[in-house]
Amino acid sequence: MDRLDRLRGPEPPRPHDARAIAALAANPGCARRAVLDAAGVDKDAVATHLGFPAPFGRSPFAITRGDAFEALVKEGGGAELLRLLRELLGLPLPLAGYTDLADVGGNPSAHLRHSHTRRLIDRAARDAGEAATLYDHPLLRLEIAGYHSYLEPDVVAFQLGGRFHIVEIKSFAVVDGQAEPDKVAAAARQAAVYVLALSTLLAELGHDPSRVSHEIVLVCPENFANRPAATLVDVRRELAVLRRQLARMTRVGAIVEPLPDTLTFDLGRDDGGVPRRPVAELRSAVREVGARYAPDCLNTCDLCFFCREEAAEAGATDLLGRQVRDELGGVATVAEALALADGSLAPDDDRAEIARLLRLADRLYAEVS
């Protein structure tokens, strides 16, 4: 049995969505997350069983609105989307076809669906005509930390004259040409994941990977209406960051190697699906793999409350955020930083500079507050 399968236990691996991968790249130094994700562990279920359920819920209103907007954009077999693309690119695009790649019949495995996507993309890349083709829900995959991960297919790939664009549909509004910057940034990071996955696929098929445009098409509702509007977003920077971080990301193999053979994150579900694994046991299993908590985890990782608690127990300065850590010159624990500040701990050479600043800060604080 594969090592990662054993870590996960008998449950089927969880597919990754681009959001998770974008977030994974945001905290590339966290071994815990890398291992759990590579093994396809259901982190949410693990966090819940540990007594630290993730704080992420999606409101039914947001889901309904998102679905309704997506349906609106894809209306009429892609006709509306094509109209938007025509306007955006200023091209008289005839529509050659709209293919929903999720339509494979039955409930085939991710592997089969991926092969289906591969075949169709290959064909599109070979005999690209002047007409546009829309591929909805392409099932792409990406190599993450040495393992292939399938991506949740929630984008449209658009092919014209042998060039591909990733189209991302989001339901946040663009008001007078402006949207919330962090939402646009998140959308760009996610789209970059698909751009990378699609160009990798083209390369595997022997085509030129640069046929995937680094400009993605972002479709959002405009102003306060439900009317969609499309914009081109250049994701070159996000792509570069993603590439670099995926490459730099500690190879999971190297992290998994020294772990005890018997280690597993299996929840020990009974026949009714209820997790039966003793919590203490699961806790020590999770703690076998080192984490690197940062407050950003609170927005991106299901295990955030668990890891935060762990950081708090350890008195880690990570708890206070990267900016504070930077100000503290990387001093790792609260106790050490405070001891340097009140002079009860003599600094080593590396810490002399920050210790001097902290002592001065301590003196000033006492003097003026």
Partner 1 sequence: MSTLSALARLRALREGRAQRLATVRHCHLSDRPMVLIPLRLAGEAAAPLAAMAGTDPDHPRLLVVPQPRDRDLRFAFTAELAEVVLPYVEGLQKATETVERRGAEPYERCVDAPQLLVPNPAGVTFVQLLGRSTRFRRAEGPYAVHPSVPVLGRWLTFFGRRAQYPGSVLLAAATDLLSLHWATGQSALEDANLASLLGWIDPPPGMSGASAAREAEDPLVWPPAGPATDPGFDAEVLAPAIRAYQEAPGERAAAAVAAAVRSQLEPTWRLMWRAVDLLRALPPGGGAAARWEGDRTAFTAFAAQLAEGAPPQPRRDGAVAAAARLARMERARAVYDAQRAFDDPLVMAGHRLAGEAFTGTVVAAEPDRTEGEGRGRKLRPLLVVRTGDPVRLAAGARLATPARRGQRADVVDVAGGEVTLKIVKGMGRGTTATPGAVPQVGEVVCYAALTDEYQPPAALPAPEETPWTHGGPPPEYVPAEDDAEEDWS
Q: Where on the chain is the footprint of ligand SF4 (CB under 6 A)?
A: 27, 30, 32-33, 291-293, 297, 301, 303-304, 307
Closest CA to 47 of 59, 32, 30, 62: 32
Q: How many CB atoms lie within 10 A of CB 8?
A: 22
Task: Please state the closest distance from residue 332 (CB atom) to ligand SF4, in A.
Answer: 15
Contact flag: residue 334 with partner 1 (CB under 8 A): yes
**DSSP character at residue 152:** P
Q: Mask of contacts with partner 1, 98-137, x by CB under 8 A?
A: ----------------------------------------
Contact region for partner 1 (CB under 8 A) — 18-26, 78-86, 206-214, 359-367? 359-367
Q: How far apart are CA 233 and CA 115, in angstroms?
A: 29
**What's the closest the beta carbon of residue 207 comes to partner 1, in angstroms?**
38
Q: How far is the CB of 169 from ligand SF4 (least distance, A)?
A: 28
Q: Does residue 162 contact residue 121 with C-beta atoms inside 8 Å?
A: no
- ∠365-310-245 over CA atoms, to 5°? 95
Query: In the complex with partner 1, which residue's Cβ is closer, 143 or 180?
Result: 180
Residue 74 phi, psi (nearest 5):
-90, 5
The listed partner (ligand SF4, partner 1, none) that binds 341, CB under 5 to 8 Å by sort, is partner 1
Q: How far is the CB of 26 from partner 1 (least distance, A)?
A: 14
Question: From the list 321, 330, 343, 346, which residue makes contact with partner 1 (rule: CB under 8 A)?
Answer: 321
Q: Which of 217, 242, 337, 355 binds partner 1 (CB under 8 A)?
A: 337
> Is 53 near partner 1 (CB under 8 A)?
no
255 alpha carbon, distance to own chain's centre:
20
CB 153 within 8 A of CB 140: yes
| Residue 102: closest CA among 28, 163, 159, 154 | 154
